[in-house]
Amino acid sequence: MLEQFLNHIREHHLCGPTDRILLAVSGGIDSVVMLRLFHEAGQPVAVAHCNFQLRGEASDGDQQFVEILCRDLGIPCFLKRMDTAAYAETEGLSIQLAARALRYAWFEEVRVREGFDRIATAHHLNDALETVLLNWTRSANPDGLAGIPVQQGAIIRPLLFATRAAVEAYAAFKDFAWREDASNQTDDYARNFIRHQVVPRLKELNPSLEQTVSRGLASMEGVLSLAVAGLEHWKAVYTTATGNRIAIRKDFAAAPHAAAILARYLRPFGFHYSQCEGMTNALAGQPGKQFLAEAYTVMIDREALILTPRRVDWEAVTLATEHQHVVLGDWTLAVERNEAGQPLMGGAWHATVDADRITFPITWRRWRAGDVFYPLGMSHGKKISDFLIDRKVARADKAAVTVLEAGERIFWVVGHRLDDRFKVTAATKQVLTFTIRAHIL
How do residues 117-143 score in pLDDT, each as one tens digit?
999 999 998 888 888 888 777 665 566
Binding residue per annotation — 183?
Answer: no
Binding residue per annotation — 28?
Answer: yes
Q: Tell me how far the alpha carbon of residue 20 is from its chain's centroid.
A: 26
Selected from 3.30.465, 3.40.50, 3.30.1380, 1.25.40, the CATH number assigned to the domain covering 221-309 reads 3.30.465
So what's the pLDDT on residue 49?
96
Evaluate if residue 440 carries a pLDDT over 50.
no
Evaluate if residue 393 carries a pLDDT over 60.
yes
Selected from 3.90.1150.10, 3.50.40.10, 3.40.50.720, 1.10.10.1150, the CATH number assigned to the domain covering 317-438 reads 3.50.40.10
In this prediction, what percent of the chain has a pLDDT beyond 70? 89
Most confident of 12-21, 252-261, 292-301: 12-21
CB of 360 within 8 A of CB of 322?
Answer: yes
**118-120: strand order across its sheet:** 77-81, 45-51, 21-24, 118-120, 155-156, 151-152
Evaluate if residue 379 carries a pLDDT over 60.
yes
So what's the pLDDT on residue 69?
96
Distance, CA of 180 to CA of 428 (rounded, Å) = 79
Residue 24: pLDDT band by 50, 70, 90 thresholds? very high
3-state secondary structure the chain: CHHHHHHHHHHCCCCCCCCCEEEECCCCHHHHHHHHHHHHHCCCEEEEEEECCCCCHHHHHHHHHHHHHHHHHCCCEEEEECCHHHHHHHHCCCHHHHHHHHHHHHHHHHHHHHCCCEEECCCCHHHHHHHHHHHHHHCCCHHHHHCCCCEECCEECCCCCCCHHHHHHHHHHHCCCCCCCHHHHCCCCHHHHHHHHHHHHHHHHCCCHHHHHHHHHHHHHHHHHHHHHHHHHHHHHHEEEECCEEEEEHHHHHCCCHHHHHHHHHHHHCCCHHHHHHHHHHCCCCCCCEEECCCEEEEECCCEEEEEECCCCCCCEEECCCCCEEEECCEEEEEEEEECCCCCCCCCCEEEEEHHHCCCCEEEEECCCCCEECECCCCCCEEHHHHHHHCCCCHHHHCCCEEEEECCEEEEECCCEEEHHHCCCCCCCEEEEEEEEECCC
Mean pLDDT on 141-170: 85
Binding residue per annotation — 187?
Answer: no
So what's the pLDDT on residue 187?
57
How do residues 219-276 score in pLDDT, each as one tens digit?
666 666 667 778 888 999 999 988 778 999 999 998 888 988 898 899 888 888 888 9
So what's the pLDDT on residue 441?
41
Mean pLDDT on 54-60: 88
Evaluate if residue 349 carries a pLDDT over 70.
yes
Most confident of 213-217, 401-405, 409-413: 409-413
Q: Who wins on pLDDT, 280 or 138?
A: 280
Binding residue per annotation — 251?
Answer: no
CATH number, span 2-205:
3.40.50.620
Any idea which of 5-14, 75-84, 321-330 has the lowest mean pLDDT? 321-330
Binding residue per annotation — 29?
Answer: yes
**pTM for this model (two decimals):** 0.56
Nearest-5° Cα angle at 314, 310 to 319: 130
Evaluate if residue 38 carries a pLDDT over 90.
yes
For the chain, the structural domain boundaries read 2-205, 221-309, 317-438
Instruction: Classify the phi-psi angles of 372: left when phi > 0, otherwise alpha if psi is within -120 to 50, otherwise beta.
Output: beta
